[in-house]
């Protein structure tokens, strides 16, 4: 699907820009990945004992797959609210640089901060990636409306996927239910691997996978935080050491 040229009358109203944004969910393979991920989250929530309304509320109000999975798996396995909240807080820090880098793409001289609240809420890794791809083809004064359409379109797809996943998990044979639960780790592993930009990211991913089973032996209730902070800090140390070597050579 191609967007209309920048000077097209199609961009004259915000409403049309919103519709073009919503229609653009059909133009990206990431929509399919999100669909599979949220199918898995729906099944996971079902098998962890949460209600469908709770699951949909988590998608609408949290709107960050990793945070939702942390809440479901930690609370589902008996962690305290504080332990879950700490793990989510740390995992969500990555949203800060995403919001910081996305907002200048759609700010104009007349833009007030409150106009950007919904854009900030909709910002997650998929939207962040797609902003760089789509926004150059959208007139600047219609970008907020376009992103509202794209973001709310993606949320709707995920709410539908949640409902299907949740319902299927209750009714499928154990074999297919297991297959649906497996969607979450697979989709997250490969989308994270794809997003690795630097060596530090790759080391953090590999060490994070390997250290979790060790940290789980501690049975601290915050195993994920322990392995995450240790693996992430080692990865950062390697990044620093390499930067030092490069500087020493220069």
Partner 1 sequence: MSGFIGDWHALAILFVAGVIPNQIWRMLGLWFGGGIDENSELLVWVRAVATAILAGIIAQIVVQPPGALASVPDWLRYGAVAAGFVAFMLARKSIFAGVIVGEIVMLSGKYWLG
Q: Which of 182, 218, 241, 245 binds partner 1 (CB under 8 A)?
A: 182
Q: Say if CB 32 and CB 5 are below 8 A apart.
A: no
Q: What minimum distance in Å lies between the beta carbon of 6 and partner 1?
A: 26
Say if residue 230 is exposed, middle or buried (CB neighbours under 10 Å; 0-12, 13-18, 19+).
middle
Segment interacting with partner 1, rule: CB under 8 A, options 6-14, 131-139, 148-156, 186-194:
186-194
Q: 221: alpha, beta or left, given left = phi > 0 and alpha = psi -120 to 50?
A: left
Residues 11-70 touching partner 1, rule: CB under 8 A, are: 29, 32-33, 36, 43-44, 46-48, 50-54, 57-58, 61-64, 66-70
| For partner 1, the closer CB: 158 or 200 | 200
Number of other residues whose CB lies within 10 A of the CB of residue 38: 29
Q: Any residues with CB less than 8 A from the CB of 154 and at least 6 apart, and which? A: 25, 31, 34, 122, 126, 127
Of 130 and 223, the one with the shorter C-beta distance to partner 1 is 223
Of 1-9, 16-24, 138-146, 212-220, which segment contacts partner 1 by CB under 8 A? 212-220
Of positions 4, 10, 23, 103, contacts partner 1 by CB under 8 A: 103
CA distance 96 to 219: 30
225: contact with partner 1 by CB under 8 A: yes
């Amino acid at each position: 699907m191609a967007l209309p040229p920048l000077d097209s009358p199609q961009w004259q109203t915000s409403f049309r820009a919103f519709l073009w944004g919503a229609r653009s969910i059909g133009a990206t393979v990431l929509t399919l990945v999100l669909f599979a991920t949220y199918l898995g989250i729906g099944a996971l929530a079902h098998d962890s004992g949460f209600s469908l309304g709770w699951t949909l509320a988590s998608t609408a109000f949290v709107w960050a797959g990793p945070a939702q999975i942390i809440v479901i798996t930690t609370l589902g396995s008996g962690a305290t609210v504080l332990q879950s909240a700490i793990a989510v807080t740390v995992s969500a820090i990555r949203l800060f640089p995403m919001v910081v880098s996305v907002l200048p793409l759609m700010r104009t001289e007349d833009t007030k901060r409150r106009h950007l609240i919904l854009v900030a809420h909709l910002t997650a890794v998929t939207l962040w990636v797609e902003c760089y791809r789509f926004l150059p083809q959208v007139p600047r004064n219609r970008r907020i409306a376009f992103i509202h359409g794209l973001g709310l379109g993606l949320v709707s797809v995920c709410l539908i996927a949640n409902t299907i996943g949740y319902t299927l998990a209750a009714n499928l044979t154990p074999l297919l239910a297991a297959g649906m639960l497996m969607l979450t780790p697979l989709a997250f592993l490969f989308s994270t691997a794809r997003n690795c930009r630097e060596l530090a990211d790759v080391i953090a991913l590999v060490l994070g996978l390997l250290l979790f089973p060790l940290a789980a032996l501690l049975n601290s209730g915050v195993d994920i935080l322990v392995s995450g902070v240790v693996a992430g800090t080692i990865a950062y140390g390697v990044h620093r050491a390499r930067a030092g070597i490069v500087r020493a050579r220069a």
